[in-house]
Each structure stands twice: as C-alpha cells, then as structure tokens.
Structure 1
Amino acid sequence: MSTEELKDVQIDHTVDGIGEVCPHTLNIALKALKKAKPGEVVVEETDHSIATKTIPSAVKMNKLAEVLGIVEENGIYKIYLKKL
C-alpha cells in the first residue's frame, strides 16, 4: 500500500516501541498481535530502524500477519500489520 493509503487505514491497536531495540520491539508487536482479532490492524511505532526488517520478517515467517506497509516520518516508523 502507498503511504497515503496507509494513512487512511483504520487502526485497531497502536503500540509504542519508541526507545526500544530488538528483540523487544518484536516482542511488543507479537504481544499486540496475540491480543488482536483476525482482520484487525496493529501499528507499532518505533524509532529503531532495524525493527522495520525484523518485525515484518518474523510475522510473515510465522504467518501471524500481513504486512501492509511502513511509513516513516521524522525518524519514527509506523509498521502496519493486519492479523491473519
């Protein structure tokens, strides 16, 4: 999805990973996905650029969520995940 499309997505859960590093950023995302219902969108906000690789890889590999995209603004990344 494009950045503009992502900004219009209804977000069901937002989690704060700012100031955290891997693997904690991944654990935050996994915990939120565990609480989410199938089809719900979880967005993790983080300032840890490596999380933009580890989180999408882990949720795809484990078939937990579809990665809708990542938006970066002023050093903050928003990782959009739709629970499967």
Structure 2
Amino acid sequence: MSLSEKELLALKPDHIVDAVGEVCPHTLNLALDGLKKAKSGEIVVEVTDHSIATKTIPAAVKMNKIGEFLGVAKKGGEYHIFVKKA
C-alpha cells in the first residue's frame, strides 16, 4: 500500500510510539515493542527524529512478516513511520 503524506497523517493510529531523541537500534526496538502490543489490523506509528529508522523499521517489518509498512510522513522535522500489524 502506498499512501501520500497527507493520507498517512489523516490516519488515526491505534498506538503511538515516541522515539524522538533515540537512535538505532533503540528506535527499531521501540517500534517492535509497539507492534507486539498491537492487535491484528491496528496501526502503529513511531515518531522519531532519527532518519535511519525510516529504513530499518520497514525492512524489519517486511523481513519478519509482522505487518504492512504503510509509509513515512515528515512533519516538523520528525518522521512518522506507519505500520499496520498483520
């Protein structure tokens, strides 16, 4: 699924993970913890200022088959990484 930044930011996430100020691998661990708490079909968004997380989180989600990466929206210097739990 490929959504625009506007469409992503309009989504109402079920879980928000605050990872601002964190770096890898902690940003990835926080995202995975958030996905573990989510139920199937729920949307988890991680908010981070660490650009590398925009690559590591989607790759881990795909590799581990734990969800669907919906996209990344940049807002105010922060990245909002959207994942839907499988």
Normalised by the size of structure 2, how large is the TM-score? 0.94
Q: Decide which of 11, 20, 23 is 1:9's aligned counterpart.
A: 11
Task: Give the length in aligned residue pairs.
Answer: 84
For 2:6 and 2:75, the matched residues in 1 are separated by: 13
Residue identity over aligned pairs, in percent, reads: 63
Corresponding position of 2:40: 38
For 2:15 and 2:21, the matched residues in 1 are separated by: 19
For 2:74 and 2:9, the matched residues in 1 are separated by: 11
Cα RMSD (Å): 0.7
For residue 10 of structure 1, report the CA deviation from its aligned partner: 2.0
Equivalent AA in structure 2 for residue 68 of structure 1 = L
> Structure 2: any 5+ residue segments left out of the alignment?
none
For 1:7 and 1:72, the matched residues in 2 are separated by: 9
* SS of alignment partner, residue 12 of structure 2: coil
Q: Decide which of 15, 24, 27 is 1:25's aligned counterpart.
A: 27
For residue 8 of structure 1, report the CA deviation from its aligned partner: 1.9
- Moved beyond 2 Å, runs of 4+: none
Normalised by the size of structure 1, how large is the TM-score? 0.96
Corresponding position of 1:59: 61
